[in-house]
Amino acid sequence: MNQPRPATRSRRLARWVDDRLGTAYLATKALRKVFPDHWSFMLGELSLYSFVILVVTGVYLTFFFDPSQAESTYRGSYEAMRGVEMTAAYRSALELSFDVRAGLVMRQIHHWAALLFVATMAVHMARVFFTGAFRRPREINWMVGVTLLILAVFNGFAGYSLLDDQLSGTGLRIGYSIALSVPLVGTWLVSLLFGGEFPGPDIIERLYVIHILLVPAVIAALIGVHMAILLRQKHTQFAGPGRAEGNVVGERVWPTYAAKGLGLFFLTTAVLAALGGLAQINPIWIYGPFDPAEVSAASQPDWYMGWLDGAMRLIPPWEVRAFGYEVPNPFFPGAVLPGVTFALLYLWPFLEARFTGDRSEHHLLDRPRDRPVRTAMGVATIAFYGVLFLAGGGDVLSTTFGVSVNAVFQAFRVLLFVLPAASAWVAYRLCRDLAQRDPAPADDGSVAMTALAGVAEDGRDQDDRAGHDGPEAQGQAVGKHH
């Protein structure tokens, strides 16, 4: 470890590349980036890793999966389904599970990774929300993040709808009916999407292109944008000794942070591999091939669709009828609710700025307790969607606890409003108490003064223009460019 390094082959290669691209300058800059450290800053990273795993396992699945609704017969090694007529999609998914070596592990890792992808994204978003990291100048990245969440949820749905088993067919049928319920254009919409009336001849092939190409490409591009903006704006940090609005206190990317990050990637993959091997998920051979005249009781979607499923169940039997036209009931929980949800998410940074009148730049994070109103609203939101999520399993709860379905759903309808209000109140009081007992560490004034003075003097972000913070690095940069 301590010997002087000889001009190894790798160094010669690096030199070769540098001669042609001048990479040393950029690479140095990247290695020297400073990142503040906090456990909660890892959540976004986990999301990124899950996406990488989705792509790797997904590509493997594409080699064997056949996204076709053509009639086909299973002849593989799973006894119970041998000789059964089914679509090629379902047949190839069965083959992936029983006849392709390592196919089942890959399928299950893919599915577990999808659950983790959306989960870590949602929790990451909650972190950003409760700490106020979405405030100026980070509104754009907040909106990029909301878009990523929508795409991830959508692609997950598209993914498990491909297999054409009983569960996925039921999900698609509900999706079809929601699209059909859209005023004016609903009937056209479903005809163009499904290629005709449900189940339509084309939906699986189309979802396939969307699932493996379109949405992942957009997600990858947006992740790139997300990271680029993060690098440009630098990470936020919590207040503390030496930390101020004008500086970033943390570890350099290279080598420790990078090594830990890479290690974390391997650990994430390890957990998903263990789940993929040991924890059965989406056992399509139990659900059977899709039959539009049958549905299994207690079908539950993936967790990230649960809130929509719950809303579909909790809504009272209302619809709008006028002048011989109608807006059917599923439109409200199925289209209006997600529309409003995501619109509010997109707009939140601007709404908050308007309410608080605070439009200044922030790089220091809030402690949730110091922003009791925001925290209470966030908690209420989580409670609201949490109740919807639980209502998605209302029938299961009813049979498990022997309570009538009717009672369960009436209770959920009350809870849907009472629980958010109550939890908001509790959160608000808790924040006030906590904040009183433990006042906020202020922006470290001394540092702030020098940091701001530094900015004021040369009027510029030294680091980002020249690319470096150490004197010797500065020298290199100059040498490179002149």
Partner 1 sequence: MDDIEPAATEEDAAPRAAAGERVVIAAFTASMAAALALAVVYWRGGQAQLEGVLLAISLGGIGVGMVVWAKRFLPSGEITEERGRMASTDDEVASFTHAFEQGEQAIQRRALLLKLLGGAVGALGVAALFPIRSLGPRPGRGLFDTGFRNGTRLMTVDGRSVRPEDLSVGGVVTVWPEGHVGEPDSPTLLVRVDRPELFRRPTRTQWTVEGIVAYSKLCTHTGCPVGLYQSRERLLLCPCHQSTFDVVEGAKPIFGPATRPLPQLPLGLNQAGELVSTGDYREPIGPGFWNRRR
Which residue in 19, 20, 325, 402 binds partner 1 (CB under 8 A)?
Answer: 325
> Which position among 8, 19, 184, 482 is part of the footprint of partner 1 (CB under 8 A)?
184
If binding is defined by CB under 6 A, does position 148 make contact with ligand HEM? no
Any contact of residue 475 with partner 1 (CB under 8 A)?
A: no
- The window from 58-66, 209-217, 352-360, 402-410 that contacts partner 1 (CB under 8 A) reads 402-410
Asked if 405 interacts with partner 1 (CB under 8 A), we say yes
* Dist CA 282 CA 97 (whole Å): 11
Whole-number minimum distance, CB 419 to partner 1, in Å?
21
The answer to the question of residue 93 lying near ligand HEM (CB under 6 A) is yes
* Residue 54 binds ligand HEM (CB under 6 A): yes
Q: Which of residues 11-70 bind partner 1 (CB under 8 A)?
A: 34
Query: At closest approach, how far in Å is the CB of 437 from partner 1?
Result: 28
Q: Tell me if 384 contacts partner 1 by CB under 8 A.
A: no
Q: Give residues 272-331 in contact with ligand HEM (rule: CB under 6 A).
A: 282
Residues 227-266 that bind ligand HEM (CB under 6 A): none
CB 126, CB 53: distance < 8 Å: no
Residue 324, SS3 per DSSP? coil
Helix/strand/coil for 364: strand
Which one of partner 1, ligand HEM, none interacts with residue 415, CB within 5 to 8 A by kind?
none
Distance of CA 335 to the CA centre of its chain: 20
Q: CB within 8 A of 240, min separation 6: which ones? A: 249, 441, 444
Within 10 A of 462 (CB to CB), how many other CB atoms are there?
Answer: 14
Which helix (DSSP H) or strand (DSSP E) does residue 73 occupy? strand 71-73
Q: How many residues line the site for partner 1 (CB under 8 A)?
A: 111
Within 120-139, the residues that bind partner 1 by CB under 8 A are 137
Pairwise CA distance, residues 131 & 43, whole Å: 14
Residue pair 451/247 in contact (Cβ under 8 Å)? The answer is: yes
Angle at CA of residue 281, ends 45 and 162, nearest 5° = 90
The verdict on whether omega for the bond into residue 137 sits within 30 degrees of 0, i.e. cis, is yes
Does residue 255 have a cis peptide bond before it, meaning omega lies within 30 degrees of 0?
A: yes
Which of residues 44, 58, 349, 420 is near ligand HEM by CB under 6 A? 58
Q: What residue 91 binds from ligand HEM, partner 1, none (CB within 5 to 8 A, per partner kind)?
A: none
Cα 341 from chain centre: 15
Token reading at 327: 């807006």
Q: Does 278 interact with partner 1 (rule: CB under 8 A)?
A: yes
The CA distance from 44 to 63, in Å, is: 30
Task: For the CB of residue 99, give the shortest distance to ligand HEM in the complex, in Å.
Answer: 12
- Give the total of residues touching ligand HEM (CB under 6 A): 27
Question: Residue 65 interacts with ligand HEM (CB under 6 A)?
Answer: yes
**Best CA proximity match to 253, nearest among 17, 45, 5:** 45
Residue 117 interacts with ligand HEM (CB under 6 A)?
Answer: yes
248 binds partner 1 (CB under 8 A): yes
- Contact partner at residue 180 from ligand HEM, partner 1, none, CB < 5 to 8 Å by partner kind: partner 1
Residues 336-395 contacting ligand HEM, CB under 6 A: none
Element (H, E) at 266: helix 258-278
CB 67 within 8 A of CB 208: yes
By the criterion CB under 6 A, which residues form the site for ligand HEM?
54-55, 58-59, 61-62, 65, 93, 96, 107, 110-111, 114, 117, 152, 155-156, 159-160, 162-163, 211-212, 215-216, 219, 282
